[in-house]
Amino acid sequence: MNFSKWFKKQEEKHFKTGIAFGGGGTKGFAHLGVLKAFEENNITFDEVAGTSVGSLVGCLYAFGLTSGEMLEKAQDLKASEIRNSKLFFVPSKTEGLENFVKSVIGDAHFEDMKKKLTIVAVDLITSKEIHITSGSVAKAVAGSCAVPGIFNPVDFDTYRLADGGLQNTIPADVLRANGCRYVVSIDCNPTRGHGTDSTKLKDILLASIRIMMKSNAVKGKIYSDVCIEVDTSKYKSTSLNGAEEMFMAGYQAGLKAVPKIKELFAQDEKSKFSFAKLFKRNKKKYLKEEKKDIEENKVL
């Protein structure tokens, strides 16, 4: 990753702040609750990055919608409007996702956003992580949310897009590379990675994807100054049930993080900042958690 632009930004008088919205399916309602806590405390961000459902919330936030407006739109949404197939070998088309985004912000392009927006997806043709910053926002969101086996991939320019969580579940590193000095991330699904005792192909595939996403989520946390983890373990990432409860869980987690974020943003703009120290600190923290998981799962 090229951080030359980011380091150059540190010498400027005004530093940029960024918010990264992680993936998690319908658990994304928690993102909205966190945003409500931020709104009540006048916490705003200069740039936005999102993966999967985080790209959906991120685009609405970057367009200027409030958490209340987002919640109202989301509560009117029906699962059948998003997924038109219940058969595993017949993935749903993504037109429902695109139409929902367009119903809220129109056929907006990235240059229409009020905040700089980056949507993360994966190109199935080259296997590369793609950072989308131009073109149709609705189609980019659809591509970022296209979970293999659940949705068809999305053709976007020369790419064939699939869920960004395959490589970057919490895109904090994207904001760093874009020049953000401070990055706050929201993880609406910190308990991702759970397995399954089912022998059905669909359940096995989805469990495999969850396990993979758990591993790459660590990278996002390492690149974050603050990572807000919302406990949504009681709810399914494929169901709209519990939307209000997930919203409130996000709200409480957001309020808890407010003092730390305010302290972070209030630091003297000329104070010495060390990305190396941040990376080392977070790496040590999350590697310690990984070691704990290994010990707990060790076969004796």
pLDDT digits (tens, 9 = 90+) for 92-113: 889 999 999 999 999 999 999 9
Between 134 and 15, name the one with better pLDDT: 134
Task: Report, as an integer, the average pLDDT of 41-68.
Answer: 97
Mean pLDDT of all residues belonging to the chain: 85
Most confident of 146-160, 195-209, 272-286: 146-160
Sorted by sequence, the CB contacts under 8 Å of residue 7 that are 6+ apart come out as: 275
Sign of the torsion angle spanned by Cα atoms 138, 133, 147, 206: negative
DSSP designation for 152: -
Between 144 and 272, name the one with better pLDDT: 144
Give SS3 for 89: coil
pLDDT (0 to 100) of residue 257: 98
85, pLDDT greater than 80: no
Sign of the torsion angle spanned by Cα atoms 125, 130, 133, 136: positive
- C-alpha 260 chain-centroid distance: 21
Over the stretch 174-201, which tens digit does the pLDDT of each residue have? Answer: 999 999 999 999 999 988 766 777 877 7
Could you tell me the pLDDT band of residue 295, with boundaries at 50, 70 and 90? very low
The H or E element spanning position 181 is strand 180-187
206, pLDDT greater than 70: yes
pLDDT (0 to 100) of residue 289: 58
Cα R_g (the chain), whole angstroms:
18
pLDDT (0 to 100) of residue 92: 86
Could you tell me the pLDDT band of residue 10, with boundaries at 50, 70 and 90? very low
CA proximity to 33, closest of 70, 78, 75, 79:
70
287, pLDDT greater than 80: no
Over the stretch 210-238, which tens digit does the pLDDT of each residue have? Answer: 777 777 888 899 999 999 999 998 998 87
The answer to whether 62 and 116 are in contact (CB under 8 A) is yes
DSSP designation for 52: T
pLDDT (0 to 100) of residue 281: 63
pLDDT (0 to 100) of residue 87: 63
270, pLDDT greater than 60: no
pLDDT (0 to 100) of residue 59: 98
The answer to whether 154 and 129 are in contact (CB under 8 A) is no
For the ranges 44-53, 132-141, 194-203, 282-291, the lowest mean pLDDT is seen at 282-291
CB atoms within 10 A of CB 156: 20
**Measured distance CA(32)–CA(38) in Å, rounded:** 10
**Measured distance CA(35)–CA(50) in Å, rounded:** 14
pLDDT (0 to 100) of residue 114: 97
Task: Report, as an integer, the average pLDDT of 140-161.
Answer: 94
Give SS3 for 87: coil
Task: Report, as an integer, the average pLDDT of 237-266.
Answer: 93
291, pLDDT greater than 60: no
- DSSP secondary structure, 91-121, as one string: PBPSHHHHHHHHHHH-S-BGGG-SSEEEEEE
pLDDT (0 to 100) of residue 294: 37
Could you tell me the pLDDT band of residue 86, with boundaries at 50, 70 and 90? low
- C-alpha 290 chain-centroid distance: 21
**Measured distance CA(256)–CA(296) in Å, rounded:** 29
Tokens of 163: 């869920």
285, pLDDT greater than 90: no
**Measured distance CA(45)–CA(226) in Å, rounded:** 13
Q: What is the pTM of this model?
A: 0.85
pLDDT (0 to 100) of residue 227: 96
Between 30 and 233, name the one with better pLDDT: 30
Q: Is 201 exposed, middle or buried (0-12, 13-18, 19+ CB in 10 A)?
A: exposed
